Chains A and B, each alone.
Chain A
Amino acid sequence: MIKAILIFNNHGKPRLSKFYEHYTEDTEQQIIRETFHLVSKRDENVCNFLEGGMLIGGSDYKLIYRHYATLYFVFCVDSSESELGILDLIQVFVETLDKCFENVCELDLIFHVDKVHNILAEMVMGGMVLETNMNEIITQVDAQNKMEKSETFIFQSTRQDR
């Protein structure tokens, strides 16, 4: 199971937080801070797994992260997930973002966090990996975006009618 997925930048500013277990807003912020603290002090060429973290974790949990340019992608998972598998999943996630936003950069995530959530929802559901095939994910995301577009079009045209 995945307990949480966090994206934050090099300064610890959250860009996306998805908790699959309930925490209060304050705890969530604390977890993000703590995770950032743990992850940011690590060198570039060390392993991507991390134990510890007081708030989120316990012995069964691990932080698995990847660092891309200005962003950290952190998954907090328990022992039922394969470590290398999750690393791949992060890669798939980032590649999908790259496809959906066309050369994704931090700004895309800043302004379109809802879209990022929607993409993530096609990959991970309720803490379990739903789909790992990038093409399938993109197909579903595109189909939903298309639906959304058609709706806004109808909506706007009806508005203009009035």
Chain B
Amino acid sequence: MALKIVKGSIDRMFDKNLQDLVRGIRNHKDDEAKYISTCIDEIKQELKQDNIAVKANAVCKLTYLQMLGYDVSWAAFNIVEVMSSSKFTYKRIGYLAASQCFHESTDVIMLTTNQIRKDLSSPNQYDTGVALTGLSCFVTPDLARDLANDIMTLMSHTKPYIRKKAVLIMYKVFLKYPESLRPAFPRLKEKLEDPDPGVQSAAVNVICELARRNPKNYLSLAPLFFKLMTSSTNNWVLIKIIKLFGALTPLEPRLGKKLIEPLTNLIHSTSAMSLLYECVNTVIAVLISLSSGMPNHSASIQLCVQKLRILIEDSDQNLKYLGLLAMSKILKTHPKSVQSHKDLILQCLDDKDESIRLRALDLLYGMVSKKNLMEIVKKLMLHVDKAEGTTYRDELLTKIIDICSQSNYQYITNFEWYISILVELTRLEGTRHGHLIASQMLDVAIRVKAIRVFAVAQMATLLDNAHLLTGNMQRNGICEVLYAAAWICGEFSEHLENPMQTLEAMLRPKVATLPGHIQAVYVQNAAKLFATVLKSQEGNTDGTVTQDTSQLMIERLPVFVQSANLEVQERASCILQLVKYIQKLQQKDVEVAEEVSALFAGELNPVAPKAQKKVPVPEGLDLDTWINEPPSESESEDEQPKAIFTKEEPKHSRARHTEVDEKELARVRCSKTVAAFTAIRREARKQEQANNPFYIKSSPSSQKVYQETPGVDHIPVIQIDLTVPLKVPGLPMSDQYVKLEEERRQKERAEKKKKDKKKRKEKRSGRGKKHDSGPESEEDITPAHMVDIVTEEMPENALPSDDDEKDPNDPHKALDIDLDKPLADSEKIPVRSHRAAEAAKSPVEDRDADGIATQLPKKKHGKEKREEKKKKDKDRERKKSKDEKKKKKHKSEEKDGDLLGAEVDEPVVQSEEPSQASEPPTSNSAEVSDLDFWLSNAPVPSNIQEVPKVAAAEAASAAEVISGGAQDSEPDEPKDAEMEATKPSKHKKKKQKKEKEDKEKKKKKHHHYHHHSDGVGEESVQNGTVEEEEEPLPSMSNYCLLAENSYIKMMMEDADQVYDIQGNLQDGSQVVVSVIFENKCDSFLKSMEFNVLDSLNSKLQRPEGSGPHDSLAVPFQLPPGVSNEARYVFTVQSIVMPQKLKGTLTFIVKTEESSTHEKLDFKLHFTCTSYLITTPCYSDAFAKLLESADLKSSSVRLEGVNMPFHHLLARICFHHHFSVVERIDSCASMYSRSIQGHHVCLLVKTSGQTVSIDAKCDEPMLLGNVLDEIKQTFSQC
């Protein structure tokens, strides 16, 4: 053995190490591949040795070779061996190799689970770190599930180095194992406030990444992030948070309002460009979310645009690029503010940097107007000529087309100009976008009737010069244009000046070299032209022209008959035979023109691209049912039932052969009867639509006016006199148009001036009939052509909604999980269990195993119970010992404890840390209300006293009792789920409950609503900045009017903020009342003093040293129109009775001339429910509570309550701070607790309009008052 090792190490000395390998490769530049293959052979030898050092060296070299593109997956097992070395050096090499070449389908990965787990729990932090780093690269769903719990534990590691890595890797775990997200989230959230900035940054990073994909689930974290944003100084963290807010604001406009001010401050104060840029970006996002109707944000827009202009003008190309990028975002909603910087953007078009030019191009899209379109496009055309790279030129081409065709050709005033631009674009060499130009030509020619004459003439020229386009390049994309040209010439051949010539051009032998689908169109349209020629010669007694035409067809078509393309061949032979037959008839002097042209009679209407998809499925048709039961499994794979439907499609719409996408054409060649029939149906549909409130009618402003008349003939088309000559020699055509357009506009302006002098009515009448072409604003530029844009047809009863275009394979979809719902018992990360045997199982079985794994801990629970207790005792002992020897670190022990604590499973952790444990359920519901509260801190402007979240529309304001602690609008559902989940582990729960209660007695309820204070802290800071007048949403305000006079309005909010404070004197509790002061007059209010006449029971807390009747100065002054909030703490002795306190506010009104003393009296009303705190309660604990004898009962009946039961419950929860314990049909039990620990239990039953509430409480007075208040709440609605 020893000999072997010695031999190994001697061998090793002769082995190449990485440096030698690299050197060798560099020395063998000529035969690198050969050299490397010998090296790989050597490596294979080395891997066979037992010496781990040799192996590690070999693996290290493999990692290098992998980078050079060599597949090293064959060494996967050896990599695992090296990973499991006890030496850090080798371990690191192994993990690096694994991270470079392992992936989900690497089969040896399943062997690594235990090794990784071992490394994760290694006492050496770098072992753990290396394992985490490696794992982050190759984590699989199996690894994620098996190791999630271990990583969770590491998130609370003592070393920040490990913590931050563990936090970061959780994102990968979530992606692979979405079930872990909910159980792990609370801890992740905790890490947002980790003392170590690195860990904090990692947590922000992970949550931002999660929230970016599913922002709505993370809205409730907004207050927390807001706090971080205002407190953090780490720019990385700030950037992430600000980016996150950018994703959140579209969901919650109120958030945006709150953000504007701090962001604006940051923009002004920061020196970091990266931060400034992100701030601007998020402000833009906010502005977009607030959209229009916010005139007073124009300052913010101006600020953004101004800052961006500075960026764009900067000499640093990076800033210029980013500036343009952000500008394009503003463009979407505030085009006006960007348009003023047109000069700058056009300047960027000339930049030498392609990235910047592309960005500037993006911006152009929104800068065009009717006025400047031609000018801008002219400029772009110049760039097209100059452009060197094809990519940039193609980009220009698509941009030109985009710009011109946007919103249904809104900005085009002269379609002749546009057609000539398109024709000019065909001269581009080597563009990939031939089909794009083609589809534009088709679209314009079909939809703009007035342009057809011109278009046809242009297309005929194009066909004539086809050789210029195609050259000798078969694959040239531009030849797609010929497809459009041929079709347009054929379809609208009646406009052709010289159809014979065009026909000749279309039948040239060279056409046979074009792609098949184009040939097919040529052949088909040649036939149309043929028909036109015949028709034009009708009545002409001299038959030579027709004879010649037929002869030409018969001579040229055989080339196509021999085509390899099926489509071409089929059409050509059909038409050939037809022409031969016609020729025979002609020779007999039979008039055939009528019949031939009847073949192609009828109009084409454009059909919307999505029309086919939008055909609704008829009622009673289930597309998923089998028409015939599948005979057997083996056959069903070959015959897909879907084929039946796909085959049918071509019958409905004409078969099409190219990707001339965008608009599908459907030929509506219908006989008169059919036309009449459709007319009737259309009429009926119109009726139906008129009566259907959900039908989206075309508004006058939008361009898309759906044609209701079946034929295009019915559309009133105004004939235009063409003032523009068709061809202008010399200049390129489109330029000519620009000049002409200028002249035309000038002329028009002059005319308009004349008209202005005349009566207005006359002016109006000229425009009344105009069918289309955009808003009339735009400096009153009238289009040269009265354009009639035929809109796209949609199927009858088209489904209005757009298709959901979310990618079902997106891994982030699985992470769309509601994080605010309380954790159910069944949701936990599977705890380490024996799963070695499972490793080889198939994934399907693994899923089953997963189910078992989640159940395992429950079964074990009983057994483990005793152990747990022991552990807990240990824990306590440890805590004691810690206290004794505070300065000594018990590293290993502590870590041990961590592991155990987490392994034991959630509930136990809960009972150990009551302050946290009781939070999740509370905080979930509370957080929602918290968020609302946090967002809606703007006082409600008038005496609308509250708009409860639940059923905001139907709820009339219930003035008296104002409360917060809102539950979810449908609290029953999740609660029910939770209840069910708790049942199986009932007795376990009871024990916990006991422990919990014990703890609570010791600690004295001080843990409630701590999170509330966070939100409140923000509030007073922010309050003055929000414009309450414009609150668009029905906000959830808990404020009620306290008192009001002509100078000032006071609004009170209480109840929600009731909490007790630790270390309170005796049994007294404290109640915090927030009062909003709003200045209603035009004068300055100052020296405000707030005073309340104390009662025996309730006392205003005054600063030490002041007497019992001294008033408190309000810590701010109020300029006109401003409001602010102050909070006052009251000490309450007994809470069983509602209280009313009289108070006075004195203040000085200061105007320019004088100042006067004023005062305002008010009454503070403390209801009994305001002493209640929403406390969750489990059903078993609830049952136990009811059994105990010391509860007094009472009951109340409510008549005429007309609302759904869950609304009723939500109302009680919302107004009276109860939580639903259990709900069965129309019966629910509810629970709440007072700040002094009184239990209040309700049993609510409903039948019809009668609601009966049976209640129990250990304090009958309190109960009676609470019931009265509930009754009052419902009597008011």
Give A residues with C-beta under 8 Å from B: 1, 14, 16-18, 20, 22, 24-26, 28-29, 42-43, 45-52, 80, 82-85, 87-88, 110-114, 117-118, 121, 125-133, 136, 140, 143-144, 147-148, 151-152, 155, 159, 162
Contacts and interface: CB of A to CB of B under 8 A. Distances in A.
B547 interface: no
Contacts of A17: 67
10 interchain residue pairs of minimum CB distance: A126-B136, A84-B274, A47-B317, A22-B103, A46-B353, A29-B69, A47-B321, A148-B89, A121-B133, A82-B239
B9 A85 contact: no
B126 A125 contact: no
B93 interface: yes
Interface stretch (B162-170, B741-749, B848-856, B887-895): B162-170
B1228 interface: no
A46 B137 contact: no
Contact of B2 (A50, A131, A140, A162): A162
Contacts of B22: 110-111
Given A20-B137, A114-B96, A130 B66 contact: no
B92 A118 contact: yes
Contact of B355 (A26, A46, A121): A46
20 contacts: A16-B67, A47-B317, A47-B353, A47-B356, A49-B322, A52-B391, A80-B209, A87-B318, A111-B22, A113-B64, A114-B63, A118-B92, A126-B136, A126-B137, A130-B164, A132-B201, A136-B198, A144-B126, A148-B92, A151-B88
B88 A114 contact: no
Contacts of B26: 110
B274 A88 contact: yes
Nearest to B281: A82
B266 to A, nearest CB: 14
A25 B69 contact: yes
B69 A26 contact: yes
Contact of A131 (B164, B171, B318): B164
Contacts of A26: 69
B236 A114 contact: no
A145 to B, nearest CB: 10
A29 B5 CA distance: 39
A151 B126 CA distance: 13
Contacts of B983: none
Nearest to B21: A111
B366 to A, nearest CB: 18
Interface residues of B, number: 72
Contacts of B130: 121
Contacts of B353: 43, 46-47
A80 B212 contact: yes
Given A80-B208, A125-B136, 12 more contacts: A22-B104, A46-B354, A48-B318, A83-B274, A83-B322, A84-B273, A111-B22, A121-B96, A126-B136, A126-B171, A128-B171, A130-B168
Given A131-B164, A151-B88, A51 B355 contact: yes
Interface in B1064-1097: none
Interface string B317-358: 110111000000000000000000000000000001111101
B60 interface: yes
Given A130-B165, A155-B87, A114 B239 contact: no
Nearest to B138: A22
A19 B854 CA distance: 34
B152 to A, nearest CB: 17
Contacts of A20: 137
A114 B67 contact: no
Contacts of B621: none
A68 to B, nearest CB: 16
A45 B352 CA distance: 9
A132 B197 CA distance: 11
Which one of B18, B133, B165, B322 has the highest number of Cβ atoms from chain A below 10 Å of its Cβ?
Answer: B133
A17 B69 CA distance: 10
Contacts of A22: 103-104
B151 to A, nearest CB: 12
A88 B921 CA distance: 42
Which one of B6, B67, B100 has the highest number of Cβ atoms from chain A below 10 Å of its Cβ?
Answer: B67
B1031 to A, nearest CB: 32
B1182 interface: no
Contacts of A45: 317
Nearest to A15: B67
Nearest to A121: B133
B84 to A, nearest CB: 16
B942 interface: no
B172 interface: yes
B429 to A, nearest CB: 20
A155 B87 CA distance: 10
B169 A126 contact: yes
B172 A126 contact: yes
